Structure 1
Amino acid sequence: MNAMDTYSFSLASSLFSPKRRRLLPFSAIAKAHQLTEEIRVCTNRTCRKQGSFQTLETLSSLSPPNLAVKPCACFGRCGAGPNLLLLPDGIIVGHCGTPAQAAELMANLFPGDFDAKICLDALALKKSADFQFEKGNFNEAEILLSQIIDFKPFGGIHVTFKCRSSVRLELGNWSGALQDANEALRLAPRYHEAYICQGDVFLELKQFHSAEQSYLAALDIDPLIRRSKSFKARISKLQEKLADANTP
């Protein structure tokens, strides 16, 4: 455990009642900690059984571009999960296992900006869009994602533009797909998935050098994607296209 982890656990422990060891309410935490830069979601065994992967997905969809949401290993308090760690203050939040609880946390972290109803409605539409995309119903998915964008939710809008870019690519709307990928990057300049979408569009447009630059930008932001089968497949496809283009 490093010094930061020790500090985090020490500070977090001070928020528990000495008798019942319970976390303070979201509102009590947020009043003193509205400068959260990152949320880490425990995805270890116990929290995973309590739905932490769903919490991770929900918070990622509700968060603004400047708030990172990442999975992490166990940091204690097993049984009170899904557990979150708010950084840099090191505050542990427990029992965040439903979309409503995730929205409550976000509303307290961003008072006055986060409209829970709009964001939860957008989240429901996003789940429907994901379902339609998986079924290959790309027109329906595009309509749903466009509705989310019209809602102008506080968080997750960069993710929505990235998703609509993927949908429009499947529909052969390359200019629209590129526009959406660029908008996602304007909102979140270090969003590596948007760079991947951008690269996919350039690949279809046969702009191979631009595709390579987009993929390299994604890799620079998140080197771990190098291990991803889908990323490896993209690089292989790009290399094949380059070889074909250079063949007399």
Structure 2
Amino acid sequence: MKTATVSSSSFHPYTSPFLQYPNHTKPTTIPNPTSNTSKTNRKMIKSEIEIRVCVNKACSKQGSRETLDILSGISPPNINIKSCGCLGKCGSGPNLVVLPEGVLVNHVGTAMKTAQVLACFSTGKENDPENNLKSLALRKKADVELDNKDYEQALSLLSQAIELKPFGGLHLIYKSRSSARLGMGDVSGALEDAKKALNLAPQFTQAYICQGDAFLEMEEFDAAEKSYSSALQTDPSIRRSKSFKARVAKVHEKLAAADLL
């Protein structure tokens, strides 16, 4: 396993009063990301970690939106990634704050630095920043192939990404591979991957939709309706989505037709 190396000069205690967080404890000293004490403290964090990335004007100019995108793509489900306003230290960005540890990190302006920072605050035993980035790149290429309906190529790329055993983003890869398999007509494989995504991220809306799509193709309409209902519970905003409305209408139509038989 490759060890993440981030200069401790980038880490600062964050004490701004406007950022409140449940069980938020601010450290009195800056944690050394490679120290045994820091590693022990991170293992004790059982609940969600939250990382907020400043997307204010100065940090945006320094690439914070790219940092946010990378973190969103390589983080496991228990690490919540959000954008936020100014964190201070303008000109030293991109800046982010890690909660509940309450640590401000500056100069997170490259993909590798972003992956290394995530590794410093994660609880995973196997967290290779380079592998995480390779896996993310493969998934993004695969998503382009999915848009082009080249499902076979997308499947190949996503399988390669899974073989890298990334620390985070695996639920996103399984979701995309579920879509690829469904496009190829491998319905059972699509259902299997959707379930794997949900095992990793039980609140993952898109995985519920993929699961529902697979059930719909298998003509298991009750199960499809249940999956779509679960998707709506995790994210009520999809109620306004035309594609989601079409899915629900289709499954209701199939259920109504089955009742007439």
TM range (shorter): 0.7 to 0.9
Residue aligning to 1:145: 158
- Partner SS for 2:130: helix
Residue aligning to 2:11: none
Confirm or deny: 8 A CA contact 2:87 2:96 kept in the other structure: no
1:155-183 per-position Cα deviation (integer Å, ceiling 9, x unaligned): 11121111100111111110000011111
Residue aligning to 2:196: 183
TM-score by length of 2: 0.75
Superposed, 1:88-237 pairs within 5 Å as 88-110=100-122, 113-237=126-250
Offset of 1:44 from its aligned partner?
Answer: 5.1
Confirm or deny: 8 A CA contact 1:81 1:94 kept in the other structure: yes
- How many residues were matched structurally? 236
Offset of 1:49 from its aligned partner?
Answer: 4.9
Please state if 1:39 is matched with 2:51: yes
- Partner SS for 1:180: helix
Offset of 1:25 from its aligned partner?
Answer: 9.7
Instruction: Provide the rounded CA distance (Å) in 2 between the counterparts of 1:124 and 1:159.
Output: 12
Confirm or deny: 8 A CA contact 1:103 1:120 kept in the other structure: yes
Confirm or deny: 8 A CA contact 1:44 1:72 kept in the other structure: no
Instruction: Provide the rounded CA distance (Å) in 1 between the counterparts of 2:158 and 2:19.
Output: 42
Confirm or deny: 8 A CA contact 1:26 1:104 kept in the other structure: no
- Partner SS for 1:178: helix
- Partner SS for 1:85: strand
Name structure 2 gaps, 5 residues minimum. 1-15
Offset of 1:102 from its aligned partner?
Answer: 1.3
- Partner SS for 1:41: strand
Superposed, 1:31-70 pairs within 5 Å as 31=38, 34=42, 35=45, 37-43=49-55, 47-69=59-81
Instruction: Provide the rounded CA distance (Å) in 2 between the counterparts of 1:113 and 1:67.
Output: 16
Instruction: Provide the rounded CA distance (Å) in 2 between the counterparts of 1:215 and 1:26.
Output: 45
What letter is aligned with 1:133? Answer: L
Aligned CA distance change for structure 1 residues 228 and 91 (closer, same or farther; 3 Å): farther
Offset of 1:75 from its aligned partner?
Answer: 4.0
Offset of 1:89 from its aligned partner?
Answer: 3.0
Offset of 1:74 from its aligned partner?
Answer: 1.4
Same amino acid, percent of matched pairs:
46
Confirm or deny: 8 A CA contact 1:161 1:184 kept in the other structure: yes
1:124-143 per-position Cα deviation (integer Å, ceiling 9, x unaligned): 21122122112221100101
Larger fraction in helix: 1
1:89-127 per-position Cα deviation (integer Å, ceiling 9, x unaligned): 333334333321211112212375311122122122112
Instruction: Provide the rounded CA distance (Å) in 2 between the counterparts of 1:133 and 1:246.
Output: 35
Offset of 1:247 from its aligned partner?
Answer: 4.9
Confirm or deny: 8 A CA contact 1:39 1:85 kept in the other structure: yes
Confirm or deny: 8 A CA contact 1:104 1:116 kept in the other structure: yes
Residue aligning to 1:72: 83
- Partner SS for 2:232: helix
- Partner SS for 2:181: helix
What letter is aligned with 1:67? Answer: I
Instruction: Provide the rounded CA distance (Å) in 2 between the counterparts of 1:209 and 1:53.
Output: 41
Deviates more, 1:85-94 or 1:147-156: 85-94
| Alignment counterpart, residue 97 of structure 2, candidates 85, 107, 114 | 85
Offset of 1:79 from its aligned partner?
Answer: 4.7
**C-alpha RMSD of matched pairs (Å):** 3.3
TM-score by length of 1: 0.79
Aligned CA distance change for structure 1 residues 215 and 83 (closer, same or farther; 3 Å): farther
